[in-house]
Structure 1
Amino acid sequence: MAKKGKKQQQEYSGGAPPIVPAKRITWPKLRRRRELTPRLIRGCDVFTVPGALSAEECEQFIGQAEAVGFQWQGSGGPAKGEAYRDNHRISVEDNDLAAHLWTRLAPVLHPLQAGNRTAVRLNPNIRIYRYSPGQQFGAHIDESVAVAGGGRTEYTLLAYLSGAPSTWEGEEEAEGVEGEGEEGGEGEGERGGEGGEREGEGAPGEGVREADGGEGQWRREKEVAGGRGKGGGGKNQQQQQQQQLVGGETVFYVGARSQESFEVSPEVGMALLHRHGARCLLHEAREVKTGVKYVLRSDVVFK
């Protein structure tokens, strides 16, 4: 890890990958899904939602992202006080996609509370990450950010687009698209939050349990973008995509100095949600051994 951090520091250029105009991308139309049920891992602080996306939708997200083109993202590494990071990503501001994803997940997310605030929508800053063999994201903590139009993010939303076959056993409606004929979420049409302000709010509200370790135990590692890094694409990338994903688990560490940890393995279409900001557990994305890991990222906004 130390050697990688040093190399990463040398490659780091400080430039963030540009935001892709939403009009350039044709996302899949999300059909309504029934019986989405959360699986609690650490109370309401960390839980999964199998079947949040269908396998077909995941393939379409991957195809559109690859068509746009990923850019490498790194960090200054531990020597700069940042988590080691090596992956590729695209970023897009898309209120419509955020609203459709929210409509899909609202039955699960809306009951969540943080203090006296309730989950109201998703951050329209949508990111898709790609991890090829050898790439990973070291131990870090996600920061809470203020979002334009009011509200603040309190949960990270990760939707795995690749991984093991889905274990979801619900039903997909034959007709109907998420968000059609419905009003968008609160704050629709406004840009999502940027930056990385530190969350310092008081005790969590009903259904949200404070993570072990408390505030200030770990440095909050910003997701700092890097310059040029490992390449991707072409026949080599296609061959990697066809391989079964091995590695890439999301690992959470409990407590400031505890060795206790638990992990979540990527599953196609499964969403992973976890608290971030002051109540975030230290976590990392393990190195991908074979295959390619794709993840869609947004944040849950509370108001």
Structure 2
Amino acid sequence: MPKPKSKGSKPGKVEAVAPPPAPPSWPPFKPALPVADLSPVPHPLTSKVVLIPSFFPRSLCRDYVSFLKTLPLQTTPGRPKRGDAVRVNDRFQVDSQDFATRLWEQTGLKEALLEGDMEEQWGGEPVGLSYNIRIYRYSKGQFFDCHYDDSNNLTLPLDPPVPVKTTWTLLLYLTSSSDGCVGGETVFYPRDRRSSREEIAVPLETGMLLLHKHGDDCLLVRSPNLSATTIITKVERSLQARNGFSVRIFALDDESYGQFSNPSYTSILF
């Protein structure tokens, strides 16, 4: 599907807005991170996808899988708004500066993205992660169809505050085929059309971080059906210049079955 400009919605009834949820008490990073050298590896078929293996150890992935099951999730409606991708899933959304900061500063991610000659790869100087966290859970029959991740303009509350634009999405896989997952790989289409001959499929790997460009440079992306639990963390990265990252975590329930793709905020699926 193309990347159309969003149109303003028609005036309608103003509904009461529920107060945002308080951030949960995220589990500590134990053992201390990183547990391995974090070396960003560009995908051999596209410079818009970068992989970092062993970002989370298996034990920490298991801790987060257990934790995510305790959070309150709501099922999204099956009919999307005009221009949105079709999806049916359970989700929880929260702004958590603490969690985004910990991911950026206490995991080795900041150093991994700043070292060497990678700044040209990122399109600017990485300065942090989006604080908007989304948690998605996919059960049997639920899915997130092909779509693009938008970029977001943010101001990071640093000293002094830094205006940024998110430009990359981060996905952290908490489960994989070694944990009993079947399917669920992230699939990219470089020519803005769904074609099995052109698809670039990245299989699940427990603890691996996947980064992909979003906004105007986003590839069409989806995930094919899976038939067992899978969990991924999703994040947006913030860059000066003024660019940024988005953080997200994804997971799927036991016997889950569906498709998911990458929204443009920090998200968690399980």
- With the length of structure 1 as denominator, give the TM-score of the two structures: 0.62
Q: Report the alpha carbon displacement of residue 284 of structure 1 after superposing the two structures with TM.
A: 0.6
Matches of 2:16 and 2:61 in 1, distance apart? 29
- Identify unmatched segments of 5+ residues in structure 1: 1-13, 166-242
Say whether the 8 Å CA contact 2:192–2:219 is kept in structure 1.
Answer: no
1:37 is aligned to 39
Q: Which runs of 4+ in 1 moved over 4 A?
A: 14-19, 113-116
For residue 139 of structure 1, give the secondary structure of its aligned residue in structure 2.
Answer: coil
What SS does structure 2 have at the residue aligned with 1:154? strand
Identity of aligned residues (%): 30
- Check whether the contact 1:17–1:91 (CA below 8 A) recurs between aligned residues: no
d(CA) in 2 for partners of 1:17 and 1:59? 32
Confirm or deny: 8 A CA contact 1:122 1:301 kept in the other structure. yes
Q: Which residue of 1 aligns with 2:151?
A: 144
Secondary structure at the aligned position of 2:145 is classed as strand
Please tell me whether residue 296 in structure 1 is matched to residue 266 in structure 2: no
Q: Mapping of 1:270-285 within 5 angstroms? A: 270-285=208-223
Partner of 1:3 in structure 2? none
The unaligned stretches of length 5 or more in structure 2 are 1-14, 157-162, 241-270
**Contact 2:166-2:238 within 8 A present in 1 as well:** yes
Seen in structure 2, the aligned counterparts of structure 1 residues 115 and 125 have a Cα distance that, compared at 3 Å, is: closer
Q: Answer whether contact 1:245 1:293 (CA < 8 A) is retained.
A: yes
Structure 1 position 62, deviation (Å): 2.0
Q: Shift in Å at residue 116 of structure 1?
A: 6.4
Contact 2:40 / 2:113 at 8 angstroms: preserved in 1?
A: no
* Offset at residue 38 of structure 1 (A): 2.2
Instruction: For residue 152 of structure 1, report the CA deviation from its aligned partner.
Output: 1.0
- Counterpart in 2 of 1:252? 188
Task: Report the equivalent of 2:86.
Answer: 84
- Per-residue CA deviations over 1:21-69 (Å, capped at 9, x if unaligned) read 12x3232325121311223214541011111111121122222221122
Q: Which amino acid aligns with 1:255?
A: R
Alpha-carbon spacing, 1:257–1:55, altered in 2? closer, same or farther (3 Å): closer
Structure 1 SS opposite 2:98: helix
Letter in 2 for 1:40: P
- Contact 1:141–1:282 (CA<8 Å) still a contact in 2? yes
Give the whole-Å Cα distance in 2 for the aligned partners of 1:134 and 1:258: 21
Q: 1:74 to 1:152 in 2, by over 3 A?
A: farther
Q: Does 1:107 align with 2:116?
A: no
Question: What amino acid sits opposite 1:98 in the alignment?
Answer: A
Pairing partner for 1:50 from 53, 58, 70: 53
Matched, 1:98 2:62: no
Secondary structure of the equivalent of 2:134? strand
Report what 2:175 is aligned to: 162
Residue 46 of structure 1 aligns to a residue whose secondary structure is: strand
Matched, 1:59 2:66: no
* Larger RCO, structure (CA 8 Å, separation 6 or more): 1
State the TM-score, normalized to the length of structure 2: 0.69
Aligned pairs, number: 210
Let me know the Cα RMSD of the aligned residues.
2.7
